[in-house]
């Protein structure tokens, strides 16, 4: 999957069969009827094997389904949640060429055409772009209004004027598609506004705050997978007549990595617990994302080192996990933005 940069469709079908593509969707819509914390546990477990699958499930649950559950009308829920639970994949289209960290500097426009909206613009870095059937697209209806002009729209694949463009050739999580989206007067029914016109910024902010916990879970799972491989290898690999796991220097490095990872995991779980208890969690979500993404980079780097020369070749899994880890400090809010969020909250 990494080499071909593609997730097999039959594997996606198995994810739906497992129920992990609609974890929080109520059973009345065909979902699993579980909780946000269960989503986090699922993302972590899947990322332990392949973070590309972890982020597919993460975007589906913590961004797309979460936004629909909170902001969707009854008709929108009935129409889309049933599909997302059964076979449809969702994508979250916020980023643009000129609006990365400055998320609301959107150039994509939505023009009121009376019976519908017409979307024109270009989105970049959209996870699940190749596979998605439903896209939550953010555009501004009034550039002069700043963030108060931003509106969220539900756009289905195949809509007139909508094209999925170039798929990025990435360093890591290569099986997960990352694409540009092109809108040329894309026709969107008035009933497909998610939330209220001009309140898209609220949809985006509140959803991304929860999505960051999902990325934290992805990074924790990824790092655990790398550490598992490293522990097994150090028990099997012999040098100077004994397994390298018996050398104190190796033991101490593994102990440090395990401690690093457990601290990150507990930050993720705490943020998820607070969100589920409907307590403030913005600071904790930022903390768990920055700590888990940095821990993942350190732990996967150690795993490569412990594998020696074998860690640098594709015959063994740790070089892939090392590449996969880097994105954690970039997407859904860079580490610098997380630090800014934390500082702003604790300093008032």
Span 89-114, mean pLDDT? 92
Q: Please identify which of the residues 44, 96, 297, 332 carries the catalytic annotation.
A: 332
Q: Specify whether the CB–CB gap between 51 and 96 falls below 8 A.
A: no
The pLDDT, as a whole number, for residue 195 is 97
The pLDDT, as a whole number, for residue 72 is 98
First to last CA, the chain: 46
Full set of structural domains in the chain with CATH: 9-89 (1.10.540.10), 92-198 (2.40.110.10), 202-347 (1.20.140.10)
Average pLDDT of every residue of the chain: 97
What is the share, in percent, of the chain residues with pLDDT greater than 70? 100
Unique residue bearing structure tokens 């860079």: 334
Query: Residue 99's pLDDT band (boundaries 50, 70, 90)?
Result: confident
SS3 91: strand
Strand partners, 110: 119
* Cα 217 to the center of its chain, rounded Å: 10
Q: Which helix (H) or strand (E) holds 336?
A: helix 335-347
Q: Which helix (H) or strand (E) holds 84?
A: helix 82-86
Pairing of strands 90-93, 109-112: unpaired
The pLDDT, as a whole number, for residue 23 is 98
SS3 188: strand
pLDDT one-digit tens code per residue, 115-155: 999 999 999 999 999 999 999 999 999 999 999 999 999 99
Query: Residue 100's pLDDT band (boundaries 50, 70, 90)?
Result: confident
The pLDDT, as a whole number, for residue 103 is 74
Unique residue bearing structure tokens 């390298």: 244
Q: Specify whether the CB–CB gap between 214 and 40 falls below 8 A.
A: yes
Span 237-262, mean pLDDT? 98
Query: Residue 101's pLDDT band (boundaries 50, 70, 90)?
Result: confident
pLDDT above 90 for 235:
yes
Interatomic CA distance for residues 73 and 277, integer angstroms: 24
Q: Specify whether the CB–CB gap between 52 and 114 falls below 8 A.
A: no
Strand partners, 283: none
Interatomic CA distance for residues 152 and 73, integer angstroms: 13
Residue 97: C-alpha distances to residues 138, 166, 334 (Å): 14, 13, 16
The pLDDT, as a whole number, for residue 104 is 80
Interatomic CA distance for residues 320 and 282, integer angstroms: 31
Q: Specify whether the CB–CB gap between 335 and 329 falls below 8 A.
A: yes
Q: Is 330 exposed, middle or buried (0-12, 13-18, 19+ CB in 10 A)?
A: middle
Interatomic CA distance for residues 101 and 112, integer angstroms: 28
The pLDDT, as a whole number, for residue 105 is 87
Query: CA angle, 72 as apex, 267 and 95 as ends, to 5°?
Result: 60
Unique residue bearing structure tokens 């800014």: 340
Instruction: List phi, psi (to 5°) of 170.
Output: -105, 165
Strand partners, 92: 136
Q: Active-site residue 196, yes or no? A: no
* Cα 173 to the center of its chain, rounded Å: 11
0.85 surpassed by pTM = yes
Q: Specify whether the CB–CB gap between 72 and 80 falls below 8 A.
A: yes
Q: How many CB atoms lie within 10 A of CB 227?
A: 23
pLDDT one-digit tens code per residue, 264-317: 999 999 999 999 999 999 999 999 999 999 999 999 999 999 999 999 999 999
pLDDT one-digit tens code per residue, 173-220: 999 999 999 999 999 999 999 999 999 999 999 999 999 999 999 999
Span 28-35, mean pLDDT? 97
């Amino acid at each position: 999957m990494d080499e071909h940069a593609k997730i097999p469709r039959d594997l996606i079908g198995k994810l739906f069969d497992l129920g992990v593509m609609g974890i929080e969707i109520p059973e009345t819509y065909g979902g699993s009827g579980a909780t946000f914390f269960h989503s986090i546990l699922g993302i972590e477990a899947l990322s332990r094997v392949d973070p590309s699958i972890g982020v597919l499930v993460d975007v589906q649950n913590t961004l797309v389904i979460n936004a629909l559950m909170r902001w969707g009308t009854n008709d929108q829920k009935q129409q889309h949640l049933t599909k997302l639970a059964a076979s449809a994949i969702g994508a979250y289209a916020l980023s643009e060429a000129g609006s990365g960290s400055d998320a609301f500097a959107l150039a994509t426009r939505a023009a009121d055409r009376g019976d519908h909206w017409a979307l024109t613009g270009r989105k970049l870095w959209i996870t699940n772009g190749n596979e998605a059937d439903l896209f939550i697209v953010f555009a501004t209806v009034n550039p002069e209004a700043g963030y108060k002009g931003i509106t969220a729209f539900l756009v289905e694949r195949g809509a007139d004027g909508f094209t999925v463009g170039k798929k990025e050739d990435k360093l890591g999580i290569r099986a997960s598609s990352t694409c540009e989206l092109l809108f040329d007067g894309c026709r969107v029914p008035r009933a497909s506004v998610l939330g209220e016109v001009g309140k898209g910024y609220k949809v985006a902010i509140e959803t991304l705050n929860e999505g960051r916990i999902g990325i934290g879970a992805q990074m924790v799972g990824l790092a655990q997978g790398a550490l598992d491989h490293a522990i097994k290898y150090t028990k099997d690999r012999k040098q100077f007549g004994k397994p390298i796991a018996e050398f104190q220097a190796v033991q101490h490095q593994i102990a440090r990595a395990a401690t690093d990872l457990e601290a990150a995991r507990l930050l993720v779980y705490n943020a998820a617990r607070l969100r589920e208890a409907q307590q403030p969690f913005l600071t904790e979500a930022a903390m768990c994302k920055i700590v888990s993404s940095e821990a993942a980079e350190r732990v996967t780097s150690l795993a490569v080192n412990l594998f020696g020369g074998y860690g640098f070749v594709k015959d063994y899994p740790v070089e892939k996990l090392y590449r996969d880890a880097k994105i954690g400090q970039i997407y859904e809010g860079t580490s610098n933005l997380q630090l800014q969020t934390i500082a702003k909250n604790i300093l008032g």
